[in-house]
Amino acid sequence: MNQEQNEKSFAVSRQVKSRLPRYYRYLKELLDKGIFRISSGALAKMMGLTASQIRQDLNCFGGFGQQGYGYNVKFLFSQISEILGVNDNFRAVLIGMGNLGRAMAASNVFLSRGIDLVALFDKNPQIVGKSIAGKTVYDAKKLSSFLQENHVDIAVLTLTSSEAIAVSEELKGLGIKGIWNFTNVEIPSDETVSVMNVYLGDSLMQLCFDVRNREGKQHPDSTEV
């Protein structure tokens, strides 16, 4: 990605940024199927967007398409990967080895996106020292010294809500650049650390809203206007 594209990447809207991982995922699927060329119309149909929307999104970073040809899938995938930092070899730690933490440690979510999950942490003495997904769980008391001795970019929080703020403040002073937060406590981003707060229940409630409206139900207090 050239300097102009890099500068544009900081100016794009939140909506465009939120769609970039979808481009990554769909382009990866195309490559896996051996499809190396696609039009904006065909890609739009796959993703549930419009061809115009796709062209507008990608023009934020330089366009990448050729009139009369469409998109070179391999090239576009490589460019989206670079924009998203997939090739930056980011390193992450996961803090909190309850049910969600265990599931994430055992999943392919990190490796498939170019992130090296380097260590797991928990404060429960019954869990510390055990192996989860091939990695030993360290005592949370050693988190500070580990981060001081090892380069880590991202911290994933799957610990209890009551611990979230204190741990996030500690992380901000230890060189962490990003926090992926699943604690249901809002942790603000600041000038040194980017935070992605994930509320699993929110997407479920959005689904319930869609199901309710698909069935033609109305709120019991709603009235015709």
Domain boundary among 36, 65, 84: 84
Does some domain include residue 21?
yes
Domain for residue 207, yes or no? no
Looking at the structure, tell me whether residues 130 and 107 fall in a common domain. yes
77 and 97 share one domain: no
Q: Cβ distance 170 to 187 under 8 Å?
A: no
- Over the stretch 150-192, which tens digit does the pLDDT of each residue have? 999 999 999 999 999 999 999 988 999 999 999 999 999 999 9
Complete DSSP assignment for 92-117 = EEEE--SHHHHHHHHSSTTGGGT-EE
Q: How much is the pLDDT for 79?
A: 94
Q: Is 111 exposed, middle or buried (0-12, 13-18, 19+ CB in 10 A)?
A: exposed
Assigned token pair, 197: 């707060």
Sheet holding 154-157, edge to edge: 131-132, 135-139, 116-122, 91-95, 154-157, 178-181, 194-197
CB atoms within 10 A of CB 82: 16
* Residue 7: per-residue pLDDT: 47
Torsion sign across C-alpha atoms 45, 46, 49, 54: negative
208 versus 68: which is more confidently predicted? 208
Q: Indicate which CATH number applies to the domain containing 114.
A: 3.40.50.720
Shared domain for 182 and 106, answered yes or no, is: yes
Q: Residue 135: give the domain boundaries.
A: 91-202
**Which pLDDT belongs to residue 214?**
82
In a domain, 65, yes or no: yes
pTM of the model: 0.84
Looking at the chain, the whole-number percentage of residues with pLDDT higher than 70 is 90
How far apart (Å, rounded) are the C-alpha atoms in residues 191 and 217? 45
Number of domains in the chain: 2
Diameter of the chain measured on Cα atoms: 64
Identify the CATH number of the domain in which residue 44 sits. 1.10.10.10
Distance of CA 122 to the CA centre of its chain: 22
pLDDT of residue 70: 86
Read off the pLDDT of each residue in 11-29 and give the average, rounded to a whole number: 91
The single-letter code of the amino acid at 43 is L
* Mean per-residue pLDDT over the chain, rounded: 90
Same domain, 115 and 75: no
Of 15-19, 61-65, 129-133, 139-143, give the lowest mean pLDDT range. Answer: 61-65
In a domain, 186, yes or no: yes
The answer to whether residues 121 and 50 belong to one domain is no
39 pLDDT more than 90: yes
Same domain, yes or no, for 122 and 28?
A: no
Q: Which residues contact 23 (CB under 8 A, 6 or more apart)?
A: 47, 57, 76, 80
